[in-house]
Every structure is written in structure tokens, then in C-alpha cells.
Amino acid sequence: MHLGVLLLAAGNMVSGWRLPEAEAGSQNLLLIKKVTDKAEETKFDFVFFADGLNSFAGMHPSMVVRLEPLTLLGALAMTTTHIGLAATASTTYTEPYNLARMLASLDHLTGGRIAWNVVTGAFAEAAENFGAAKHPPHEERYAIAQEFIAVAKGLWDSWEEESLVMDKASGKFIDAAKLHVLDHKGKFFNVKGPLNITRPPQGYPVLMQAGASDAGINFAASIADVVFTVQQNKDTAIAFANRLKAVAERQYLRNPRHLKVMPGICTVVGSTEAKAKAKLAEIGSLTDPDYALKALSERMGTDLSSYPLDGPVPELPPSTIMQGHAITLAETARRRNMTLRELRDFVGVSMGHKLMCGTPEQIADEMEEWFRDGAADGFNLLPPYFPGAFDDFADHVVPLLQKRGLFRTEYNGRTLRDHLGIPRPDHPAKERPISSDRLRQASMT
Ligand SMILES: Cc1cc2nc3c(=O)[nH]c(=O)nc-3n(C[C@H](O)[C@H](O)[C@H](O)COP(=O)(O)O)c2cc1C
């Protein structure tokens, strides 16, 4: 089983920072370092940093102000030795050359522990921060992302392995025959290359994705090593994982075992079920209902503030923001016959993710069942607050998973690909030796 933690330092839940034991602060490096160290001690696969490219005063407390993820990874690169470090970056509002270079640099700095959560940027407000006339529509954002990834991979392949010779005797610093100039001219990007850094230790950084719409699933199946997903029901989660892996295998000829599906879980651990429930109630009581309704509206893709709270959850048009959340929440409301108020309060304490509230045994049992039945290859943990809610999971649930042989007790490798059990991609020249023309061109460049 693979485990990651979404480290929104002011808590994954909107009221997380308000708990007396929470160490508030989304810019608090010491807290982020403390949780990352604990995750590494506990042998987590990775810590994960979400991001967006805008802000407003009513935003989620962990998102309204925060550290830029790639910069943050640069700091954590120097304080960790094994754990994977995952940063979110948008393909809509960055350039492939810059981003490929930054990710390659981080992968070198960490000896191969970097992942990129590829997002197309759900929030239209970002356009106004980047001089864009409008936020591209949903399908186009995915088309841009597809080309972006092809360019980034081409740039990471600029130099074949062992191209940096540094032979003092002959005076040869770099092997020009191992250089590939990308010369990409596409619909959205023109990028000549080559990249000014050698191939990342992992070949390509691990690619993470959370697409849930048809376009999103297609994109994830084609490129993702890890897929985050919002799931409430085990059978629906199994169907999602099977669909994703089938598309990866049939359409993109990928080995489905190299695609890891990791649903989000929000865990509230107590020494007794009553204590866990009391903690959940405390989190709920501190949640501002307006915030919760805003979060629900965002996840459903429709402003719900004018709908009656004690009426049923309305039928809504498909979301163009976060379809995965919208579909799962609508299904959950239907299945549990919830009112809008109940769904709002549920999102207030879970952000729409699967809530696992109970004793360590109860939580480990449910995780094991999802894992064994093919609903999950692992889980992306969303503790409601930090560090306590994460520590509870690390100290009490992880040992049970280890005792059951479901989770590692030591890291067996050094790279994130090693932890995830996914192979390092070969340089394409290994399968397709470069032509003599290309070689001549390379040596002239
Ligand atoms: C666990 C998880 C974390 C996510 N983190 C981010 C993030 O940091 N930034 C972002 O813009 N979107 C994030 N998303 C949203 C996804 O990138 C994507 O927009 C969403 O799942 C909807 O996919 P769709 O457009 O295919 O419907 C996240 C989604 C999930 C499930």
C-alpha cells in the first residue's frame, strides 16, 4: 500500500487551524518540516503540496496565503533523504521550458524524489494574474496539458544518460553526440531546446494527476504514474480504478500496474470510537457554515447560496471546475438522501473526501478492505489539522498496517519511483537509436 499526505499546513479542513492543538500557519516552514520529517520517519511514499494561482479573502485558510510549492521543495530537498516530494504546477499558466528545468533541478537536488502534480488550473480567476484574456475552456486546458507534457518529456530527454563526460585528459566536457534538440513546433508551444540540465535521476519526475472528467481520465490514463481521486463508495472506487487502468492499457499500451490510484481520505483517529466522533464534532462545531457552503459550491461548480438549506441537494449542470468532486458528492447525497445542509456540513469536515473516523483498528480495517478489493493502490491522507491529526494516524494506524504486512517498515530504494514500484523510463534513444543525420546536427549545435 502506498501512502502520501496532503500537507496544507493550516489544515485540510477549513476549521482545522482553529483546534486548540493545531499549529496554525500555511507559511510555517518549521511546521511543514516537522510533519515532513514525521512522514519520512513513518516511511510515507511522499508529501504533497497543492496549489492555485490566485487568492481572495474568503478562500480556504490553507490556500489564501501559502508558500509556492517548487520553492518549498527546494528547502525540503535539503532536510530529507528518502521521502518523495510532490509539488503542484499548472500547465495553463507556466511555460514548459521553465517548469521542466525547475523540476529537473529539484530531481537532481533530491537524488530522484520529485513528483509533479499536473493541474490544468481549475480556477478561472488565475487568468487575470497572467495577462490572459480568458481562462481556456475545460477541453482546451487538457489539450494544452497533453502538449505541455510531450514538450517537458522531450526536454528531459535533451541529453542521453552519461552525456556529461568531463574528461580532463581529452578536454571533452560534454558528449555532443548525446544531445537531442527538441525543435518542437506545436499548436500551443514552440520550444527549440535543448534543456540546460542533464536528464533527471528518475528519467522523468513522477507525474501525478487528478482528472475525473472524461477528458481528465483520458489524460491521466495517458501520462500519470499516480492518480488522486475523490471516492466515497468502495464499488464506485473499484469501477473508477478499473476504468482508468483499462484506458491506460488498451488505449496507451501502458502496464496498468504502473499506474497507482490513490483516493483521498480524511482521517480522524481516536482511542475509542466515541472519542473520534467527539473530535469530528469539535471540528464541525468550529467550521464556519459560510466557508463550508463556499467550498461545496466550488466543488459542485455552482453557487449554492440561494438554494434552501433544508431542501434536497439540487440537480445541477455538470461542473467545469472539479467534475470528480461534483460527481462523487452528488452521488453521495443521493445515496444517503441528504439535504443541502447535511451535504454542506459533510464537506465542512471532509472537503468532500472519504471520511474515516474511528479507532486505529477500524480505520486500518477499512483501508485494508479498499486496498485488497482493488479500490485503491494506496491513499492520499488529508488530516484535518497539523501536526496532531497526522501524528495520530502515523503513530496508531501505520503500525497496524505494518503489522498486517500492508505497508513498508523501511524504504527499499532511494527514489520516489522505487517507493512506488514504477520503473524509470529509458531514454527514447535506447529503443530508437538516433540517425546519423541527427548525430551530425547534434555535433554542430
Ligand atoms: C487530492 C486532489 C488534489 C488536488 N489538488 C489540486 C491543486 O493543488 N490545484 C488544482 O488546481 N487542482 C487540484 N485538484 C483538482 C484536479 O487537478 C482537477 O482539476 C480535478 O480533479 C477535476 O478534474 P476534471 O477537470 O477532469 O474534472 C486536486 C484534486 C484532488 C482530487
Contact residues of ligand 1, CB 6 A cut-off: 50-52, 88, 119, 121-122, 210-213, 216, 228-230, 264, 322-324, 380
Please state, rounded to an integer, the average pLDDT across all residues of the chain: 93
Which phi and psi (to 5°) does residue 355 adopt? Answer: -90, 125
**320 has pLDDT over 80:** no
Lowest mean pLDDT segment, chosen from 46-50, 259-263, 337-341, 386-390 = 337-341
Q: Which three cell numbers stand for residue 162?
A: 552519461
**445 has pLDDT over 80:** no
Residue 120 alpha carbon to ligand 1 centre in Å: 8
- In this predicted model, what pLDDT tens digit does every residue of 223-275 receive, in sequence order? 999 999 999 999 999 999 999 999 999 999 999 999 999 999 999 999 999 99
User: How far from the centroid of its chain's Cα atoms is residue 206's Cα?
Assistant: 10
Q: Is the peptide bond before 384 cis (omega within 30 degrees of 0)?
A: no
**442 has pLDDT over 50:** no
- Rounded-to-integer distance, Cα 359 and Cα 379, Å: 18
**434 has pLDDT over 60:** no
Residue 117 alpha carbon to ligand 1 centre in Å: 9
Q: Are 107 and 202 in contact (CB under 8 A)?
A: yes
Q: What is the mean pLDDT of residues 311-321?
A: 81
Of 240, 243, 218, which Cα lies nearest the Cα of 229? 240
Residue 148 alpha carbon to ligand 1 centre in Å: 17
Confidence of residue 371 (pLDDT cuts 50, 70, 90): very high
Q: What is the mean pLDDT of residues 203-230?
A: 95
State the pLDDT at residue 326.
Answer: 87
If one compares 151 and 301, the residue with the highest pLDDT of the two is 151
**Three-state DSSP class for residue 229:** strand
Confidence of residue 438 (pLDDT cuts 50, 70, 90): low
Residue located nearest, by CA, to atom 17 of ligand 1: 119
Give the Cα-Cα-Cα angle 377, 213, 149 (nearest 5 degrees): 75
Residue located nearest, by CA, to atom 23 of ligand 1: 211
Q: Are 118 and 209 in contact (CB under 8 A)?
A: yes
State the pLDDT at residue 406.
Answer: 98
Lowest mean pLDDT segment, chosen from 78-82, 193-197, 283-287, 427-431 = 427-431
Q: Are 309 and 339 in contact (CB under 8 A)?
A: yes
Residues in the chain: 445
- Rounded-to-integer distance, Cα 213 and Cα 139, Å: 10
- Cell match 490566485: residue? 54
Q: Are 403 and 138 in contact (CB under 8 A)?
A: no
Amino acid 279 reads K
The answer to whether the Cα torsion of 203, 206, 211, 212 is positive or negative is: positive
- In this predicted model, what pLDDT tens digit does every residue of 281-313 receive, in sequence order? 999 999 989 888 988 998 898 999 889 999 988
Q: Is the peptide bond before 136 cis (omega within 30 degrees of 0)?
A: no
- Cell match 506545436: residue? 186
Looking at 57-188, which runs of residues are DSSP E strands?
Answer: 84-90, 114-119, 164-167, 172-174, 184-185
Of 92, 332, 130, 133, which Cα lies nearest the Cα of 233? 332
What pTM was computed for the model?
0.93
User: How far from the centroid of its chain's Cα atoms is residue 371's Cα?
Assistant: 19
**Residues 6+ away with beta carbon under 8 Å from 185:** none
Q: Are 334 and 244 in contact (CB under 8 A)?
A: no
Mutate which of 46, 55, 228, 327 for ligand 1? The one with the most ligand atoms within 8 Å of its CB, which is 228
- In this predicted model, what pLDDT tens digit does every residue of 393-415 receive, in sequence order? 999 999 999 999 999 999 999 99
**Residues 6+ away with beta carbon under 8 Å from 252:** 221, 222
Amino acid 213 reads S
Mutate which of 322, 329, 347, 380 for ligand 1? The one with the most ligand atoms within 8 Å of its CB, which is 322
**443 has pLDDT over 60:** no
Residue 352 alpha carbon to ligand 1 centre in Å: 12
Q: Which three cell numbers stand for residue 352?
A: 468532500
DSSP alpha helices (H): ranges in 302-382? 323-336, 340-350, 360-372
Q: Are 84 and 115 in contact (CB under 8 A)?
A: yes
Can you state the angle between helices 96-109 and 138-156, rounded to 10 degrees?
50
* Residue percentage of the chain with pLDDT more than 70: 96
**432 has pLDDT over 80:** no
Which phi and psi (to 5°) does residue 245 adopt? Answer: -70, -35
What distances in angstroms separate CA 141 from CA 91, 221, 236, 302, 404, one per listed residue? 8, 16, 26, 20, 43
State the pLDDT at residue 185.
Answer: 97
Residue located nearest, by CA, to atom 29 of ligand 1: 210
DSSP per residue, 176-189: GGGB----EE-SS-
**439 has pLDDT over 70:** no
**Three-state DSSP class for residue 219:** helix
State the pLDDT at residue 327.
Answer: 85
- Cell match 495553463: residue? 92
Q: Are 411 and 151 in contact (CB under 8 A)?
A: no
- In this predicted model, what pLDDT tens digit does every residue of 91-142 receive, in sequence order? 999 999 999 999 999 999 999 999 999 999 867 888 999 987 788 998 999 9
